[in-house]
Amino acid sequence: MSKAVIDALVQRLPEAVYDPYVGVGGDDCAFVRRERIVEVCRALKQDLGFDMAPYVTAVDYLGQTPRFEVVYECYSTKANARVRLRVKVGEGEELPSVTSVWRGANWFERYVFDMYGIPVTGHPDLRRLLMYPEFEGNPLRKDYPLRGRQPLVPEREIHDIFRGPGPATRD
Amino acid sequence: MAEERVPAADDLLAPLPTKKMVLNMGPSHPATHGVTKFLVELDGETVTDLKIDIGYLHRGFEKSCESSTWTQVFPYTDRLNYVSSIMNNVGYALAVEKLCKLEIPERAKYLRVVTSELHRICDHLTLVGAQGLELGAMTIVIFAVEARDLIWDRLTELCGARLTSNYARIGGVARDLPEGWIEKTLKTLDRTAEVRDEIDALLSRNRIFADRLRGVGAISRADALDYGFTGPCLRATGEPYDVRKAQPYLVYDRIDFDVPVGSNGDTLDRFLMRVEELRQSDRIVRQCLQQMAPGEIIVEDFRYALPPKPLVYGTIEGVMAHFKQIMEGIKVPAGEAYSYTEAANGELGFYLVSDGGGRPYKIGLRAPVWPMLTALPQMTKGALLADLVPVYDSINYIAGEVEQ
């Protein structure tokens, strides 16, 4: 079934989807060009029924160019089919966000940004997800040391609490 | 003073000036069952916006895994969803076996299902109890914990640990059932069923409880899919997706069980899904215990599984296999695979990349609740502040697995 999905994708967007292959355990996978990922995802969702938000993660293949790879694990509840899309992203290159296709991609992309430092363009709220804003570097990059300790950061000023109505002097 | 004239009906109300208030809930709030920070924007008592700050429990799961051998990852997986640790073990073991193309013995498959489903019962009991607790029904959580601890006692007898029970291994399971364990487990299931029915009778048809949860935190089927919901929360919206049925793994295709499906996608439905799944897991465990036949519990391939101790102490081959596995780790063929199982809260996925060495190159964890937390602002928009706690509880956010 899902072989048909990959074939349909390749047929529809032949320049965007390349090197389809059957992975370990019969997973259907294909590579997608970085600039066209949103287009491919939209076709996947609208024409091929991949309605569930994918799991998005990244891998750092240090030493290879392009260095990173972002992986989209898509599932269609209608066809009970799965497709894995892999996007090669070079150091410093921007990854278009697929949050406009599936809202659920939001935090996964923040994770990719946080842990691998891949800038995601068109993301509604691109902030670090698990690490704190003052953290320097990206922990899951292969060149980030395992025991990379960072200094304590000073306590942030609380400016997001504003009090309710009361005497003007109280604030 | 040119005051604006309020409509006549509101003449008796004191015209208080209102403005929006931002409330910091957490990081250490009793209702967050862990450390999560909510920034709630309130208009009176109505939630108008919600920002969630996570990461307080981040332990660097993926980074730690990349520097340990494939086998050493198991204890880390216990601590992902610590309420149902064996499910994480099994999910991870299946992922590695997929990459190794390893077929495990029949009995090991059954044992994995039995322990997973026992842990599913624990997980759902915890949630069902907590759901009562959040709304002030302290009794329920005491009941649930009683039953849960009985199951934990059985798992202690099996794995030696009460909470972070570590049972699955690459190629099978750690040890066989102790003497008399099946009879004891059946009795435990009977007691659990009593407690479950008692909780069901106390809550599910309780007018106050049902009214409190009905329509609260509702999400539509299309939205839930768009956010990537899985598990009971997705099924509460009417989408019958369950990995155990859609892509049966282990022995789920030989077992007769139903998947409960809701219709409203609200907190009450999510609660009812869990109560019904408690019944189904009970059925699964009983069927497995009946169908199970004696046999091997781990593959006899010493590239993947540790040799039995008499061989290690008695033969040079055994000692070498043991040494190579402990020191260098299992050699998993180079490649990448994504494996997914139905954990208590939904699809637990592992994306593994191996470079052929003894250590994982990358372990990507798709925690079931991760996408659901993204949807929390939408689910609670326009709800009362007091609804935030039960809604948040009903998605069963386990910081251990989402924050890795």
Q: Tens digits of per-residue pLDDT, B24-45?
A: 887 777 777 778 888 888 887 8
| φ/ψ (deg, to 5) at A59 | -130, 140
Does B373 touch chain A if contact means CB atoms closer than 8 Å?
A: yes
- A25–B336: do the CB atoms touch at under 8 Å? no
The CATH code that applies to domain B61-402 is: 1.10.645.10
User: What is the Cβ-side half-sphere exposure of residue B195, based on CA atoms within 13 angstroms?
Assistant: 28
Among B32-36, B237-241, B354-358, the minimum mean pLDDT is found in B32-36
- B366–A84: do the CB atoms touch at under 8 Å? no
Rounded (10°) angle between helices B85-100 and B106-134: 140
Q: Which of A105, A146, A161 sits opposite B24 (nearest CB)?
A: A161
**Which class does domain A2-147 fall in?**
alpha beta
Interface of B with A in 162-221 (CB under 8 A): none
Show me where the domains of chain A are located: 2-147
% of chain B residues with pLDDT over 70 = 97
For chain B, the average pLDDT equals 86
Q: Which residues of B touch A107 (CB under 8 A)?
A: 370-371, 373-374
Does B290 touch chain A if contact means CB atoms closer than 8 Å?
A: no
Q: Which of A27, A144, A161 sits opposite B338 (nearest CB)?
A: A27
Q: What is the pTM of this model?
A: 0.87
**Residue A156 confidence (pLDDT) above 70:** no
Does B123 touch chain A if contact means CB atoms closer than 8 Å?
A: no
Show me where the domains of chain B are located: 17-53, 61-402
Q: Tens digits of per-residue pLDDT, A51-80?
A: 888 899 999 888 888 889 999 988 888 888
Q: Which of B24, B58, B98 sits opposite A25 (nearest CB)?
A: B98
**Helix, strand or coil, per DSSP, at residue B93:** helix
A133, amino acid identity = P
Q: Which of A128, A132, A139 sits opposite B63 (nearest CB)?
A: A139
Residue A152 pLDDT grade (very low, low, confident, very high; cuts 50, 70, 90):
confident
CA distance A77 to chain B (A): 7
**For position A166, what pLDDT does the model report?**
46
Spatial distance between the Cα atoms of A85 and A64, rounded to a whole number of angstroms: 19
| φ/ψ (deg, to 5) at B37 | -110, 130
A166 versus A47: the higher-pLDDT residue is: A47
**Residue A116 confidence (pLDDT) above 50:** yes
Q: Which residues of B touch A156 (CB under 8 A)?
A: none
**Helix, strand or coil, per DSSP, at residue B229:** coil
